Each structure stands twice: as structure tokens, then as C-alpha cells.
Amino acid sequence: MKNEIFWLVLTIVMTSLFWVPYILDRILEHKLIPALRNPNRDSRPTNQWANRLMYAHENAVENMVLFAPLVLLVHFLHISTEGTILAAMIYFFARLGHVIMYTFGVPYLRTIAYFAGWLAQSYLAIIILQGL
């Protein structure tokens, strides 16, 4: 099984790619040059799926601020276990599920995926606090 850092890097790469579909939608909607201009921050895509993906991407970035330090603390404190590795893996798949469910407008599964990611973060925090 890979370690927490592996899952952190995969999560970062995945999160960094979430913007691609909604930018492609913007290019199709507005054409290339207008889409490349710096739009107003409040300008949202017309297609609802692209709008939801934009929100899901923002949410993923916001949660990365919590997940990354937890993984780094586990690594630097040398308290990695099979449980912490599993939590990092669960977080990755929970965030992937969340962005897919959010994009396609699946309300209950989206919330369950988000909650699974939150539980994974909470587990990492508890392990860190126990190790201090």
C-alpha cells in the first residue's frame, strides 16, 4: 500500500485538474479569446453542470488546506499506520466522488462523499493529537 504522501500528491494533482472541464465549457460557450480574458469573479458558466463543477473545485481547494497539513504532520511526526494510509486513500476517493456527484447534481451521494472525506480528515487529526 502506498503511503499518505502518495495519496496527498494524487489528491493535489486531481484537484489541479478539476478546472479543465469547466474552462473547456467556457471556451465552447464564449469562444477562445473571450474565454481567455480575465472574467469578472462573479461571472459563472451558463451550463449548470459547469457551474456546479466550479463550486466543487472551489470546495476541493478549500478542503486541501485542511488535508495537506494533516498528512504532512503524520509524515513528519512518523506516526504513519495502515489506518492513516487508509484515511488518506479514502479522502482521495471521497473527494473524487464528491466532485462527480456535485457536478452531476446528485444531492445525497454528494453529501455522503463529503462526509466520508471529513471523517478521513478527522481520523488523521485524532491520530496526530494522540501522538503529541
Ranking 10-14, 48-52, 72-76, 88-92 by mean pLDDT, the lowest is 48-52
Residue 125 has pLDDT above 70, yes or no: yes
Element (H, E) at 129: helix 107-131
Quote the cell numbers at residue 7.
495519496
Q: What is the CATH number of the domain that holds 95?
A: 1.20.120.550
What pLDDT is stored for residue 40 in this prediction? Answer: 66
Range of the domain at 76: 4-37+45-131
> What's 78's DSSP letter?
T
For residues 58 and 99, the answer to whether their CB atoms sit within 8 Å is no
Calculate what percentage of the chain has a pLDDT beyond 70.
Answer: 95
For residues 14 and 95, the answer to whether their CB atoms sit within 8 Å is yes
Number of domains within the chain = 1
Cα separation, 104 vs 116, in Å, equals 19
Neighbouring CB atoms inside 10 A of 130's CB total: 8
Q: What is the chain's mean pLDDT, rounded?
A: 93
- The pLDDT tens digits of the residues spanning 25-81 come to 988 888 888 777 766 666 777 889 999 999 999 999 999 999 999 999 999 999 999
Residue with cell 504532512: 72
